[in-house]
Each structure stands twice: as C-alpha cells, then as structure tokens.
Structure 1
Amino acid sequence: MAFRRRPCCLLALLLLSLLTVGLAAAGPGDIAVFWGRNKDEGTLHEACDTGAYTTVIISFLSVFGHGRYQIDLSGHPLNGVGDDIKHCQSKGILVLLSIGGQGGEYSLPSSQSATDLAEYLWNAYLAGSREGVARPFGDAAVNGVDFFIDQGSTEHYDELARRLYSYNKYYRGGGVTLTATPRCAYPDQRLEAALATGLFNRIHVRLYGDQRCTWSARESWEKWAAAYPGSRIFVGVVASPEADADAYMSPKDLYYGVLQFAQKLPNYGGIMIWNRYYDKKTGYMGG
C-alpha cells in the first residue's frame, strides 16, 4: 500500500535542508503567525499544537478610540479562546493581541483616548481587572500587545506605548511585550513616533501589501533592522499567493532573497507569517 506524504511545512523543510548542507549559519529564529482572520483556519489550540509557531498574534481589536471597544475574530466564537490561550502559553508559546488591522473603526484622537485604551487593554486582556470591564477571554491574559495601525491619525500611539509599558511595574517577572507590525516601506508614519520610544521588543516588517517594496524586499527590511538595533526585526511574509500574488515568495526565494542575508544581522528575530488560514492551506510553515 502506497502512502503519499503531505507537502507540509515547506519553509521549515527547506531551512532544515539548508542547515544540513551548511548553507545557513542559523535556523529561522522565532516563527510568529497571525490568527483570527478566517473561521476556517481552525482553533487557536490547533494552531499551537502544530509545533510550528513560537508566537501567535490574535487579530484584531478593530474598534477603539471613541469610547467603544470591539474585537473581530472573523466568526470565531469567543468561548474557549481563553482556555486556548492558556494551552498555548503552557507550551511556551507567546500570545499577543493585535490592535488595529486593515479595517474597522479605530483611531486615537486625543491623549485621553490613548490613556483610556491602555487602561482598557490592561483590564480586559492583560493582567488587570476592573469592575464593569468585561474580559472576553475570561481570566486568561495575553502576553502583550501588537500595534498593527493601517488607518486613522498618526498621533498618540507613542503615548499608548508608554502607558502600556508602565504596567510592567506590576510584574515580578516578564511584563507586557510590545510589538509592531508596520508596512515595509521605511518609515511607517503611523508608527514612527511609537517606535521612537524604544519600548518595542519586536517589529514584524510586512514585506507585502505595499507596491513600493515588491521588488526590493531585502533592502526595505534592512532599513528597518538598521533603524531599530534595539528591537528584534522579523521578516513578514504571506503564506500563499492568494494573500498577495505580487509579494508572495516561495520558501526557496525567501531564503535566497532575504533570509540568508537577514540571519547574519544581530537583531534578526525570525519570520512572521500572514496568516494561519493561508499557512494551513499551503503548508508554508505550519501545515
């Protein structure tokens, strides 16, 4: 009886083969994936059980800044997500909540709105609590907040970052992880002031969705790495041409076009995959 091997984990297999023959000095680093963009991607629990990811980014808190807050998980029921977060964390996987996104109703029109959002995130999704503030994921607390700001005003996100960082005083170990997911063309004006605070652990540079970077992905990424030496810089890619046909790089093209150079830089962090749905379909990283 013949068995056909499923073509999964293409990027992981390529990198493993390169390591075997000595072409890569290091592995791919951390692997982050966005989850919450398609109900057919499966549960958060299932994503973490693939063993492919070291970080899962729940997306998105897509309404904020005007006294309203709303999370959009593309039809995923909220019941059970809290238990899934705990499951992922028990496996050593970092779980972040991304704010913003490519749609929704969000902006920070004032300093007060930045303060209000920080307090809401602390009490609704991080380690805080306050009477009258619902916790969509129950008593599960995410490890930090990702800034994915694609619309609205450019102001006050630096204030938001400082407010969120200030909650670290309540932790004995660890703390609030701050990450950003900017467009690849440097600089990203919507996040420039926030990143200038120096408080962001990681920056996931999207090498897709921006025609200015289609033919110069490596050069664009290297500008980010040079500009923020104190942050770990991730190579953000789409897992399928269905997501962005112009920006899609096969695992081979990704390695030879970007990774073999990026891995040599001291602040290279890893790979960010957009998104779990496409990755599940193609087996690009997680199968």
Structure 2
Amino acid sequence: MATKTLLILSILLAFSLFRSSEACGISTYWGQNLYEGTLLLACQSGLYKYINVAFLIDFGCGVTPRMNLAGHCDPPSGTCRRLVTEIQACQDLGIKVLLSLGGSAGNYSLCSTDDAYQVAAYLYDTFLSGTSSTGPLGAVALDGIDFDIEYPGTTKYWDDLARALASYSTPAKKVYLSAAPQCPIPDRNLDTAIKTGLFDYVWVQFYNNPGCDYRSGVSGLIAAWNQWSAYLPEGNQLFLGLPAAPGAGAGYAPPDVIANQVLPVIRSSKNYGGVMLWSRFYDTSFSKIIQPAVCSNTLHHENLLISMV
C-alpha cells in the first residue's frame, strides 16, 4: 500500500429512469358515434397510442354478449368483421387496441367468481386469441380489455374478472388491462379490481364529478390527480381522463390550460402515463393542441448516492 491513504471513490448511481415519449401518450374511445370516422383514420391520425373500441354492452350472469358500435357496423349480421383489417393496421402502427366493456348503458354484471372466469374465457376466445372467425369482430387478436364499468347490475367480482383475464397472458403475448374509474376515491365499481395492481393503464375520468374536475380550477384538478397518483398500485400508469369538447362531459378544461398549466406539473408523477380523451368523435382539435405537452423528454435522476470511503 502506498504511504498515502488510498482514497476509494465509490459512486453508486441508482436511477429511476424516465419514461420516454415512447412510454406515454394519448388514449381515446372509438365506436360510439357514426360521424367520428373510421377506426383506421383514427389510428392514421398519429394522435393516439391507445384506442378503446366501445362497447361490449351486454355480458355476464347468463346474458348473451352484445356489442354496440353506434352504426359503424352491425355486429349480429357480421358486418363488423371487416374491422379486423383496420385493427391489424392500427397494431402495425404501434397502437394498442382494446375492447371496452360496459359504458353508460347496457345489461352487464357478474354474478360470481365462476361467472367472471366464464366471461373472461369468452373475451379471450372471441376478442384476444385471434382464432374466433365467428366473433363480432372476426378472427381478431386485440391487445387487451378495458373496464369502463359505470352502471353494472352489481359492483362485485370485477377483481375476479381482472385476475381471470390476466391469467391468459403469456411470454409471447401479454393481455393488457385498463380501467376507467370515476375520479372520486374509491371508485364504487372498480376499486377492488384496481387494488389488484393488474391494470396496466388507469385512465381516471376527471370529469362529470364537481369535486375532482376542472370546475374546482387548475389547483383542484391537480390535487385530485395527486390523490390518484398516491393511491394507485405501483407499476400501474395513470392517465388524465378529460372530455375533448364542452359537450363531451361536465368539467371541460380548455386544451391550452391542460397543455400549459396542468401537464407540466403532473408529468413529474412517477406513474404518469398520459391523457385519455372522451372521445374520438369530440376530439376535433384537443389532442392536436396538447400532444406536444403530453410527453416529457426530461430525464429524471433519483436516488443519486455518492459515497467516499
């Protein structure tokens, strides 16, 4: 050893690496207005990273499953099977396409854990496996299932449905799960399901609820976001769900306010995922205005430890 004290510099860099622009984006719902254009055009717009095809409105408790795509096509007659090529084109563009369950109308509920697993088997075989040519969308392999559970016959067993669907994930193909709870915590229908931690994306509806939407101002909206950010299980991405036009929902916030005052604040949340807009029909300009602000290219360094021994 040298006569001088050997100085050992140990630098441990433990970075929580930033989520790049590739890991965040805009989600929207398509399928509830004939005048919103085709699914393919929505994907080709370059605005969205996630599209929820809405809705499967009847299912569970022995009810015959039924889709409603608001005149885009007629599921019972098989005319919606032409969508398989559009869905595949969207997926080729890197867009995740999910089937949305529920919505604000329909006859849907779950009667038991067994019923939840039976519904999951139907969803996998019909919409996720790519093998059911007789399903309403043809032999489609969607990326996952979205839970927009607003007015079900029961608030129970949605956690069982999430577990059952997640069990179909394989190393070759993951089944993505998303949820669209209301912004008051806890959500009446999906709280137990969300607590499983199985949802990859949680696009909270920060509208139609005066205590946690823009009607309480920018500060109120950000405060509601922070509550959800702290509440959400680790590993789930949180999205700011917004109406894309004044007529799309109460608590509408102008896109320039979202881009300049809200997104720069909430982007620093460790579970930030992006923005969800209701819906493609209403989104005539909102996403174009906010898109540059949705994702941050800033690298966040956390837990930098430099020790001298």
Which of the five TM-score ranges fits, normalised by the shorter chain? 0.7 to 0.9
**Residues 9-24 of structure 1 mapped to structure 2, 5 A cutoff:** none
Corresponding residue of 1:254: 258
| TM-score (structure 1 length as normaliser) | 0.84
**SS of aligned partner of 1:63:** strand
Does the aligned pair in 1 maintain the 2:145–2:176 contact within 8 Å?
yes
Unpaired runs of 5+ residues, structure 1, are 1-24
Does the aligned pair in 1 maintain the 2:131–2:140 contact within 8 Å?
no
State how many pairs are aligned: 256
Evaluate the alpha carbon distance shift between residue 26 and residue 161 of structure 1 in structure 2; reply closer, same or farther with a 3 A threshold.
closer
Check if 1:41 corresponds to 2:36. yes
Does the aligned pair in 2 maintain the 1:206–1:237 contact within 8 Å?
yes
Does the aligned pair in 2 maintain the 1:186–1:220 contact within 8 Å?
no
CA distance in 2 between partners of 1:251 and 1:87 (Å): 29
Does the aligned pair in 2 maintain the 1:85–1:95 contact within 8 Å?
yes
Moved over 4 A (4+): 25-28
**SS of aligned partner of 2:27:** strand
Corresponding residue of 2:184: 185
CA RMSD of aligned residues (A): 2.0
Deviation string, structure 1 residues 123-145 (Cα, Å, up to 9, x no partner): 11001647xx9322212211000
Larger Rg: 2
Check if 1:206 corresponds to 2:209. no
Corresponding residue of 2:175: 176
Corresponding residue of 1:9: none
**SS of aligned partner of 2:28:** strand
Corresponding residue of 1:230: 235
Corresponding residue of 1:241: 246
**SS of aligned partner of 2:228:** helix
Corresponding residue of 2:136: 136
Check if 1:83 corresponds to 2:78. no
Corresponding residue of 2:69: 73
Which one-letter code corresponds to 2:65 in the other structure? Y
Unpaired runs of 5+ residues, structure 2, are 1-18, 74-79, 290-309
Shift, 1:105, TM fit:
0.7
| TM-score (structure 2 length as normaliser) | 0.78
CA distance in 2 between partners of 1:134 and 1:155 (Å): 30
Deviation string, structure 1 residues 91-113 (Cα, Å, up to 9, x no partner): 11110111010111111122222
Corresponding residue of 1:268: 272
Evaluate the alpha carbon distance shift between residue 172 and residue 251 of structure 1 in structure 2; reply closer, same or farther with a 3 A threshold.
same
Higher mean C-alpha displacement, 76-85 vs 116-125: 76-85
CA distance in 2 between partners of 1:191 and 1:250 (Å): 28
**SS of aligned partner of 1:212:** coil
CA distance in 2 between partners of 1:247 and 1:174 (Å): 38
